[in-house]
Amino acid sequence: MAIHPPTSNGEPARNGARTAVRSEPPHLERQLTNRHIQLIAIGGAIGTGLFMGSGKTISAAGPSVIFVYMIIGFMLFFVMRAMGELLLSNLNYKSFSDFAADLLGPWAGFFTGWTYWFCWVITGIADVIAIAGYSKELWPALPLWIPGLATIGETEFWFALIKIVAIAALIIVGLFMIFTGFQSDTGTASFTNLWSHGGFFPNEFMGFVAGFQIAVFAFVGIELVGTTAAEAKNPEKTLPKAINAIPVRVLLFYVGALVILMAVTPWTQFAAGHSPFIGMFSLAGLGAAATVVNLVVLTSAMSSANSGIYSTSRMVFGLAQEGDAPGIFSRLSTRKVPSNALFLSCVLLLSGVVLMYAGQDVGKAFEMVTTVSAVCFIFVWSIILASYISFRRRRPQLHAASNFKMPGGIPAVWVVYAFFAFVLWALTTQPDTLIALLVTPTWFVVLGVAWAVLRRRPAHLARFEVFRAELRNDAAVAAGRSAAGVSAEEVEQARK
């Protein structure tokens, strides 16, 4: 959460571009359009977990992996709707760590902000590991550290665009192969491959459970739209659009792509540590196409890492403004970019290279870091839901006035919590994920010690009171705007 001191005239400073003419606190500009937000969301949510992790998921669960992805997507849609309702209830919330601090207490903002930062650092390391793995398949003699460095210099727009086009092309080509009865060493491409090799649940219930272990990681980043709230030009329109598009993305990019993959090539041909997107063309005898897909998958991993760099830098910026991180990370460049926080994130991502040199096993390293990341993301998603429960209890009038209510309400929250408990249990059923699960609480112990020290500082308590006062003032302004029939965009222009 970002906390700003009062300005010289006594009015609380605003987040984002609302203080564009002020120089007191550094602030992020509201420059992200709907196109940018959609691409950031796609770039984070559809990346390494789908392209590389789905190999292990398919080999463990078989065709039932289709239901695994559908169930996870369905549950996380409720989390995103809860987040959307909370962010739009007060446009002074810069991200979900803001409303967590406001509704649950300052400890929640601290734990959520730093855990989300940690989540994306770990996820970024997984992306760097995957990038090195893909690069090694293309250029076996390439040193592992080179592709890791190359990740930093790319831009999210083209990454996400390439990813979308590639998956759409894969689905179209796959459908053509199915309808023309394409022949390969593995047999004929046909939808019957989905059930003719042991049925939809070939490994029975525990195989289905194992599918959730890595599949959850494929969805990390789905909440990235929540970190763009402070930089969205018109959040009341762009955030609902991005969130409501989630089911379509899940059906097209996850379920659709996996159905095509397992129809063209039997699921028994896929293995952990290898991308089924590359394997589909390789097993079909299309070596050149496999190389092209490998390049696309490499770009996809870079896209996901780039989304993580965006997210971690913005989160550290907010934590630094609050005083929960060193002040040097609250500085902005002349282009209103948190350059110091960005540099920190980039440096930490390259630690993935150390993991690879330590074991030289890309698959094992990937599994370890993805499990840690998934557990931490479940914590963040749970805090979002806990904030929603508090919001419904403490501010029923804002819920009643909301135009973007979470479907299902409180009962849906408890259903999702039960699902999260199931996923954590699933992580205990395999030795590799169990080890990572047992190591993860160390992070929360470190945070607890840091919070015990920080919470006693008078300066921190004073900043939190300013933050609460700012939110109350913004809520009053929003209420007056609503009564007068003035749009948020008009108020934004007036403030500028």
What are the pLDDT digits (tens) for 80-110? 999 999 988 887 787 788 889 889 988 888 8
State which residues of the chain have pLDDT below 70. 1-53, 126-160, 226-233, 273-274, 279-290, 293, 299-308, 310-311, 334-337, 349-366, 471, 474-496
- What integer pLDDT is reported at residue 86 of this predicted model? 92
Residue 6 lies in a domain: no
3 state SS of 6: strand
What's the chain's Rg over C-alpha atoms? Answer: 23
| Residue 370 counted as domain residue | yes
Separation CA 160–CA 349 (nearest Å): 20
Question: 84: Cβ–Cβ under 8 A, 6 or more apart, which residues?
Answer: 225, 239, 240, 243, 404, 406
- pLDDT, residue 354, reads 60
Tell me if 220 sits within 8 A of 119, measured CB to CB: yes
Extract the tokens encoding 83.
């987040």
Residue 79's pLDDT is: 93
Instruction: Judge contact between 147 and 132, C-beta under 8 A.
Output: yes
Task: Name the residue range of residue 139's domain.
Answer: 29-462
- Which pLDDT does position 150 carry in this prediction? 38
Give the distance, in angstroms, between the CA of residue 329 and the centroid of all CA atoms in the same chain. Answer: 22
Task: Flag whether 49 is in a domain.
Answer: yes
Q: How far apart are CA 386 and CA 47, in angstroms?
A: 28
**Does residue 264 belong to any structural domain of this protein?**
yes
With 0-12 CB in 10 A as exposed, 13-18 as middle and 19+ as buried, what is 255? Answer: middle
- For residue 315, which amino acid is it? M
Tell me how far apart the alpha carbons of residues 292 and 235 are, in angstroms, rounded to a whole number.
Answer: 37
pLDDT at 325: 75
Report the 10 Å Cβ neighbour count for 77.
Answer: 20
* φ, ψ of residue 27 in degrees (nearest 5): -145, 155
DSSP of 164-220: HHHHHHHHHHHHHHHHTT-EETTEE--GGGGTTTT-S-TTHHHHHHHHHHHHHHHTT
pLDDT of residue 303: 65
* pLDDT score recorded for residue 145: 38
Position 294 in a domain: yes
Structural domain total, the chain: 1
Residue 13 lies in a domain: no
What gap in Å lies between CA 72 and CA 241, rounded to an integer? 20
Instruction: Note whether residue 130 is domain-resident.
Output: yes
The pLDDT of residue 144: 42
Q: Is residue 1 part of a domain?
A: no
Quick one: pLDDT at residue 23? 41
CATH code of the domain containing 85: 1.20.1740.10
What pLDDT does residue 19 have? 37
Q: Is the dihedral of CA 425, 311, 162, 346 positive or negative?
A: negative
pTM of the predicted model, to two decimals? Answer: 0.78
**Side chain identity at 486, as an amino acid letter?**
V
